[in-house]
Structures are given as structure tokens and as C-alpha cells.
Amino acid sequence: MADLLIRNARVVNEGREFDADLLVAHGRIEKIAASIDNAQARIELDADGRWLVPGMIDDQVHFREPGAAHKGSIASESRAAVAGGITSFMDMPNTHPPTLTLAALADKQRRAAATARANYGFHFGVSRDNLETIAALDPGAVAGIKVFMGASTGDMLVDDPQVLEKLFSCAPTILLAHCEHTPSILANQARWQQRHGTFIPPAAHPQIRDAQACYRSSMLAVELARRFGTRLHVLHLTTAGELALFEPGPVTGKRITAEVCLHHLLFDDSDYAALGHLIKCNPAIKSRADRDALRQALASDLIDVIGTDHAPHSLEEKQRDYLQAPSGLPLVQHALPAALELVSEGVMSLSQMVSKTSHAVADLFAIRERGYLREGYWADFAVVERLAQPLPASAQPILAHCGWTPFAQRSFRHAVRSTVVSGQLAWHQGQVIDSCQGLPLMFER
């Protein structure tokens, strides 16, 4: 008997939309066909014409484990992720301890193997002292190598030119860069401190972490990657200016790619007035013109993938003054509904959304047998419904451990009805199915 049969879905996959049934056995898609009549499955669901899309593969999350249980854990944040239609996540190395050694990496993998509700991969961190370990990494053993070329949460800044040159020349697999020029940020911050003391307003954040700081650092990363032939992925672009550094076109064949995050597409600097430090993040949310340029760059394939950069902090921490309030937003629970707002607004088509949240991510990281709805591939998908009335985000319990969302004042026109992770029901009609266990992502490099 098969595990799961979904009937009457409107499948959105690889640029096509069609009506189909989908049969899952042993974690994988066994069959996609107009009608599957002669199969029996332990669970049968009628999608009733709802969209069935490949689950989102989130290339950038901070799930805080180990070391910051008061902000989140792999268990709590992956539960929130499946509610948002995320079926796989790649976690960042700025944990405590940071993921700078093979032992720290193995520890995270062991934790995830016991508690991740979604499939998982881990990015390896960079410090000035671990370049030999990085050079010897097995490209298949890590999701990517993450370098903080700008300082952010954690103590992982690497901006010594010699260390960066060595890193870009020796990285054995894809290098992910957080790009902000820290000296200019510190100079901007000092000017604001002189004028305002500790009462720097939240709206100063994009002027302190400004467009120039982003451009300078992104330009350096791209220049180093070109010089050394490095496979570079620049994370969370936030400005119109940086877009000139990237090429349009499909991911396949590109040596330099870019990510944009949902909050940089959905908020702009007018939102600081109402949301304050709740939307303080690095790089900062910038102007409406920047937001609109990012939206256009998505549509023109200048930007390759959409991530969340889910980075939970407690509400108490967020209420501190500017210099003490940490940067980062919890986002995974609303990932697909938020991305679908961009579809409703005409920023991109549904097929483009599927590509940027799943197909292109699988291609970019060379993830084996995921990211597409194909017979023989792992069954990772979400059933999504268009709601008769927009649903306020505040109407649902918040699953992220921090207990708040930057979308509390917003409503979504779509909801995730079911999420299936490696063939297991992970989220259905408002409930996390805690028997679901994610699997490690495999990278074919």
C-alpha cells in the first residue's frame, strides 16, 4: 500500500499548471497522473483543485541550535517552517558554538536527525583560523560555506583582505557571503550616536547600514569571485545599486548568483514607524525604490532565489534601545503565504515563485532529487489554497519559539493547507504532525 494519495490537485511545476493526482510511496513521488484510480494509500486527501507546489527550500535560516534556546531550536523553528510550506532548510553557522569545525557540524546534523520536522542542510562557517579545514571540506558534506564579510549577529566577521583572498581561492564548494562594509557602518553609527546618544530611532537603521556599505562589500565579493573563479552566492540583496553586479538568466551555468529575502521584498523604510526594531535586520530594509528594484530583478532573473533569513530574537530583546536590539526577524511560518502576496500583486507569476523558492534553489545547491515534482524524486510539496477572505497573520498561533511575527498587522490571501516532507505529512489543516522527521539534504557536486 502507498503512503499518501493526493487527488484533484492543480499541480504547478516546471513552468506548467495542470490537474493531477499524486501518489507517494517510500517517501518518494511514485506517480503523477491525470487520474490515479487503482491505488490504495494509508492517507488519501482531496486537494479539491487547490495548488500543489514543490515545497520551499529555504537557503538561509538561523534556527539558533545549539546555544540560544531562548530564541529557538531546530525543533521549534522547523515546526514553524513546515507550517509555512518549507520542506527543506539550510541553517547558518552563527550558533554557539559557531559551525567552524567538523565536530560542530556533526553535532548539528545529529541534533537535526532527531528533531527536524523538515529536511536539513548546514552551512559551514569561516573564521581567520579555519581555512585549512575549509580547503579540505568534502563539497558534498556541507550545504555551503558562509562568510560574514560584514559583522552581524554573532562574532563571525571576516574582513581581512588576505584572509578573504585565501578563502575565495580555496573554497571547495559554493561560498555564501553576507556583504556589508563594517567600517563605514561603524562610522555612520558613531555620527548618529553623537547626535542622539542611545536614543537612535529605528528608522536610522538603513542610514547606518546604508546602501553604500552594501555596495562596497558586494562589489568586493564579486570582484574576488571573478579573480579566483569562486562559485559565489551573495545573500540578501537589499539595494538597487548592487543589482548592477549580477547577470540575468537561469542559475545553471552562473558562477555568481544572488538571493533576496521576503522581508526585503515586502517591507520598506516607511514601516519602521509602526514596527520599530521588529524589522531591524542586517542588511537593513531600505527604501521603497530599493524594494521595487529588487522585485523587478526577481522577475528578470537577475536575482536567482528567495530565502527567508529567518532569524528569531525574543520580544524583550527587540524592545531594547537601538544599540542593544538584535537584528533579525522570524519569518518561516509565513514563507509561502508571503511569497504568494508577491504573486497576487503581479510581481511574479506563480511558476516564477515556484522556481525561485524551489527549482532554482535545488539547482543552485545541486540538491539531489528534490526541488521538482518528478516521479522518483522525494515527495516534498505543499498544498496551498486561495482564501475567500484574506486571513490576518494574527489569527493563527505563532509557532516560532519567540512567539511574535513582523506580519502581525498584515493579512495573507493564501494559506498552506498541507505540507509533505520526504513523503510524510508534516502540516495539515493547522496542525504540525510531530511524527514527521526530515532527512539530510544530499548535495551532488
Question: What residue ranges bind ligand DOR (CB under 6 A)?
Answer: 62, 94, 152-153, 178, 281-282, 311, 326-328
Q: How far apart are CA 17 and CA 20, in angstroms?
A: 10
302 within 8 A of 246, measured Cβ to Cβ: yes
Residue nearest to ligand DOR (CB): 328
* Pairing assessment for the beta strands 51-54 and 41-46 based on DSSP bridges: unpaired
Q: Residue 104: how many CB atoms within 10 A of its CB?
A: 19
* Pairing assessment for the beta strands 232-234 and 256-261 based on DSSP bridges: parallel
Least spacing, CB of residue 15 vs ligand DOR, in Å: 33
Look at the chain and count its residues.
Answer: 445
Comparison of 148 and 378: residue with beta carbon closer to ligand DOR: 148
Q: How far apart are CA 122 and CA 440, in angstroms?
A: 9
Q: How far apart are CA 437 and CA 408, in angstroms?
A: 29
Least spacing, CB of residue 175 vs ligand DOR, in Å: 15
Least spacing, CB of residue 323 vs ligand DOR, in Å: 15
Least spacing, CB of residue 99 vs ligand DOR, in Å: 13
Residue type present at position 65: E
Least spacing, CB of residue 34 vs ligand DOR, in Å: 45
Q: How far apart are CA 154 and CA 71, in angstroms?
A: 14
Least spacing, CB of residue 41 vs ligand DOR, in Å: 40
DSSP 123-134: EEE--TT-HHHH
Q: How far is CA 32 from CA 40, 148, 288, 357, in A?
A: 14, 42, 42, 21
Least spacing, CB of residue 84 vs ligand DOR, in Å: 18
Least spacing, CB of residue 235 vs ligand DOR, in Å: 8
Q: Closest by alpha carbon to 433, among 414, 420, 415, 444? A: 420
Three-state SS across 189-250? HHHHHHHHCCCCCHHHHHHHCCHHHHHHHHHHHHHHHHHHCCCEEECCCCCCHHHHHCCCCC
Comparison of 28 and 178: residue with beta carbon closer to ligand DOR: 178
Helix (H, G, I), strand (E, B) or coil at 262: helix
Comparison of 325 and 436: residue with beta carbon closer to ligand DOR: 325
Least spacing, CB of residue 177 vs ligand DOR, in Å: 11
CA angle centred on 356, ends 419 and 283, rounded to 5°: 105
Contacts of 202 (CB under 8 A, 6+ apart): 272, 275, 276, 277, 279, 280, 322
